[in-house]
Amino acid sequence: MPRRPAKVTQADLARAIRAAKEAGACAVTVDGEGVIRIALTASAAQIKPTGDPDEIWVPSKTLRRYLKRTESG
C-alpha cells in the first residue's frame, strides 16, 4: 500500500516558523489536520476594522519579503 502524502512538510514548517519569528509571534502550532497556527504576542499591533469596504489592503513589508522568498520560478 503506498504511503499517503504529508499534510505538512518540513519545508512548510520551516517557512511558517521563519515568518512567525519575523512577525514577532510567540508560538507556532500544527494540529492533526495539518493546519498551521501562528500565535502573536499581546504586544503585537492590533488591526482595527475601518468600516470602509472600499479600502484596499496592503501587505506589510515583512509579509512582502516572505511572499517574495516563497514564490516559485
Tens digit of each residue's pLDDT (9 = 90 or more) over 15-35: 988 888 888 888 888 888 888
70 SS3 class: helix
Return the C-alpha cell found at 62.
515583512
38 or 43: which carries more pLDDT confidence?
Answer: 38
Per-residue confidence (pLDDT) for residue 61, from 0 to 100: 86
63: CB partners within 8 A, 6+ apart = 19, 23
Taking the mean position of all CA atoms in its chain, how far away is CA 39?
10
- Contact status, residue 18 vs residue 58, Cβ threshold 8 Å: no
What is the percent of the chain where pLDDT is above 90? 0
Query: pTM for this one?
Result: 0.49
Per-residue confidence (pLDDT) for residue 58, from 0 to 100: 78
Per-residue confidence (pLDDT) for residue 40, from 0 to 100: 78
> Where exactly are the structural domains of the chain?
10-43+53-68
